Structure 1
Amino acid sequence: MRSTPVDGFRLTYDRAGSGWPVVLLHGWPGDRTDYRDMVPLLSESLDVVIPDLRGFGTSDKHDADPAEQYSAKAQARSIAGLIEELDLERPVIAGYDIGSRTAQTLATCRPDLVGALVVAPPLPGVGRRALDESAQREFWYQAFHQSPLIECLIDGKPDAVRDYLAYIWGRWSGPHYAVHSDQLEHLVSVYGAPGAFAASIAWYRAGAGAVATSLAEATPEPGRRVGMPTKVLWPEHDPLFPREWSDRLDDFFSDVELRYLDGVGHFSPLEAPQPFAAEVLSAADRLNSGKAV
């Protein structure tokens, strides 16, 4: 299915099940199929909407100013438009990676549209720790994504896309997970067309990556913290976001619970679909029962 345009971008999305609404937001490098193992766990009792974000999958990709059209606020505008178009009332918004940052931005900019959050890193509170030597060894790719070399070396070259994505998935996943060959080939098919890889990294070129965002963050006043119930799922083996960075969540969220995901790397919906789905179901149940207002 395709949404109506927001800023000229139409989103492709899947929808399954019925019940309290939930919107699942994918990460990089991924697309809406990141949630393929979670949808069956949720759709028996929830109305599940899974879009491709701007520039990803089969959603629109435009040659536009990244800061204007691919930032966290721009991605959030598209999700807000989809929520309003589908008349979803106070959905649970769940996400990781880019999807997490988009969910948090939506909760800040349009709190009227969000019932609860279930998110994995990135989360605020990192600050200048993003510049630590150990962090910079992992975040090198964000500087690389700013370079025009991408268009020369990777964009439109499926074999190069395959090698790069296989490296990223192998580096960021936990010790007991390996991306399935079918999933990798699917990602090559959607990231490998001319312009597709460049569109996927427009997020970083917009300055929305973890390093730039962490360095620019400021602790909000208590009344300006994210107010809706928020469950944070923090993996054990995410090389980008070590667990010690979870120490300042209360500075940014007024109603937050932290759960550690043991044995799991960066790709939490794929590596831990059952616990992730359980938290989404729990959040939806609390909203449905009227316990969260």
Structure 2
Amino acid sequence: MTVRIPGFDYRRIAVGGPIALNAAIGGSGDPIVLLHGFPQTHLMWRHVASDLARDYTVIVPDLRGYGESDKPEARGAETYAKRTMAADVVALARALGFEQFALAGHDRGALVAFRAGLDHPGAVTRLGLFDTPPTVDMWEVLHGADAAVAFHLYLMAQPPGLPERMIAASADEFFGHFLDTWIGDVDAIPAEVRAEYLRASREAVPSIVADFRASAGIDLEHDRADRRAGRRLAVPVTVVQQDWGSVLGFDAAALWRTWTPDLDHRTTRAGHFMAEEAPAEIVAALRDLLTRRPI
């Protein structure tokens, strides 16, 4: 890792069994954990984390299977289930002395954060979820030709072997495709950060595919079970997303209200990489969330 968040300390923290996560830690005060998306690492939060660290303890890990965190071989669906990855996050916070914490996630990190909010309501005090609906809803709103925007979900849902070989054969082109096509402001990801994202992704193809494969299997099962049981997020939730409802033909705010009674739903004109493209907007949303009274 050649690029770091300035002023943050870096630690490898054991979260259970042989698994350790790489985490950047800065600031002081009440804790907030920030979880990155695909095809990125914790560095995507560099601007937001630096601002929040003026008033909060900010914990920014690489997810299991990404960046400099451990990448266990997927010996079963549970290895990269969002339930497992959410438990990593709770263990990480506890290892740092925090039994309760606010949590925000982007893209894949949003799926982990969502699962943590459902599975660990006593630990997670507030949730910020950025540009990814819950797994069960994600699959349901994708349909027809519009689903082509998410071709990678279908590719990595295939059985082990072919997806890994195909992606590894042209890793920089594959991961670079998303960095190039999902961004609104091409200057938001400088060359050295882009190079770090590509290096980290190139070195993590099997674990990244396993993460996505879980979302077409065990994660979907967990979400469906929770929906049948009527489980909902019991904390204040802020959602910031591109206007996917208009693009794919669904009411995004109504979708989220089925999961939480305490919702602040916002759309952004930024591209998918909003924490890098519009950090002031994301900081404002998170600061509002962190000071919002539960209903």
TM-score, with structure 1 as normaliser: 0.85
Matched to 1:162, the amino acid is D
Matched to 2:117, the amino acid is A
Structure 1 residue 234: Cα displacement: 1.7
How many angstroms apart in 1 are the aligned matches of 2:94 and 2:133? 26
Name 2:19's counterpart in structure 1.
9
How many angstroms apart in 2 are the aligned matches of 1:4 and 1:88? 15
The answer on whether the counterparts of 1:96 and 1:122 sit within 8 Å (CA) in structure 2 is yes
How many angstroms apart in 2 are the aligned matches of 1:239 and 1:65? 39
Q: How many residues are treated as equivalent by the alignment?
A: 282
The answer on whether the counterparts of 2:163 and 2:209 sit within 8 Å (CA) in structure 1 is no
Bigger drift between 275-284 and 68-77 goes to: 275-284
TM-score, with structure 2 as normaliser: 0.84
The answer on whether the counterparts of 1:13 and 1:51 sit within 8 Å (CA) in structure 2 is yes
How many angstroms apart in 2 are the aligned matches of 1:29 and 1:15? 21
Residues 1:82 and 2:66 are matched in the alignment: no
Name 1:249's counterpart in structure 2.
256
Aligned Cα root-mean-square deviation (Å): 2.9
Name 1:99's counterpart in structure 2.
109
The answer on whether the counterparts of 2:164 and 2:209 sit within 8 Å (CA) in structure 1 is no
In structure 2, relative to structure 1, the CA distance for the partners of 1:231 and 1:213 (3 Å cut) is farther
Name 2:205's counterpart in structure 1.
197
Match of 1:63 among 46, 70, 73: 73
How many angstroms apart in 1 are the aligned matches of 2:76 and 2:252? 28
In structure 2, relative to structure 1, the CA distance for the partners of 1:50 and 1:63 (3 Å cut) is same
The answer on whether the counterparts of 1:172 and 1:265 sit within 8 Å (CA) in structure 2 is yes
How many angstroms apart in 2 are the aligned matches of 1:127 and 1:52? 23
How many angstroms apart in 2 are the aligned matches of 1:136 and 1:218? 25
Matched to 1:136, the amino acid is A
Of all paired residues, the percent bearing the same amino acid is 24
Structure 1 residue 174: Cα displacement: 2.7
- Structure 2 gap ranges (5+): 1-10
Structure 1 residue 87: Cα displacement: 1.9
How many angstroms apart in 2 are the aligned matches of 1:162 and 1:19? 39
Name 2:164's counterpart in structure 1.
151
Q: 1:232 is paired with a residue of what secondary structure?
A: strand
How many angstroms apart in 2 are the aligned matches of 1:220 and 1:107? 17
Name 1:228's counterpart in structure 2.
235
Deviations 1:176-199 (A, max 9, x none): 666432222111221223xx1111
- Structure 1 gap ranges (5+): none
Structure 1 residue 217: Cα displacement: 7.0
Q: 1:77 is paired with a residue of what secondary structure?
A: helix
Match of 1:181 among 168, 187, 191: 191
Matched to 1:62, the amino acid is P
Matched ranges for 1:106-185 at <5 A: 106-124=116-134, 126=137, 129-147=140-158, 148-155=161-168, 160-174=170-184, 179-185=189-195
Structure 1 residue 47: Cα displacement: 0.4
Deviations 1:98-134 (A, max 9, x none): 1111111001111110110111132247376434114
How many angstroms apart in 1 are the aligned matches of 2:175 and 2:246? 16
The answer on whether the counterparts of 1:162 and 1:184 sit within 8 Å (CA) in structure 2 is no
Matched to 2:162, the amino acid is L
Matched to 1:49, the amino acid is I
Deviations 1:246-288 (A, max 9, x none): 3322111121111121x212222112211111222222234xx
Residues 1:264 and 2:275 are matched in the alignment: no
The answer on whether the counterparts of 1:234 and 1:243 sit within 8 Å (CA) in structure 2 is no
Match of 2:55 among 45, 48, 54: 45
Identify the structure with the greater strand proportion.
Answer: 2
In structure 2, relative to structure 1, the CA distance for the partners of 1:176 and 1:185 (3 Å cut) is closer
The answer on whether the counterparts of 1:220 and 1:251 sit within 8 Å (CA) in structure 2 is no
How many angstroms apart in 2 are the aligned matches of 1:149 and 1:204? 14
Q: 1:2 is paired with a residue of what secondary structure?
A: strand
How many angstroms apart in 2 are the aligned matches of 1:13 and 1:241? 35
Name 1:36's counterpart in structure 2.
46
Deviations 1:139-187 (A, max 9, x none): 22112124423333332x6xx2221122112222236666432222111
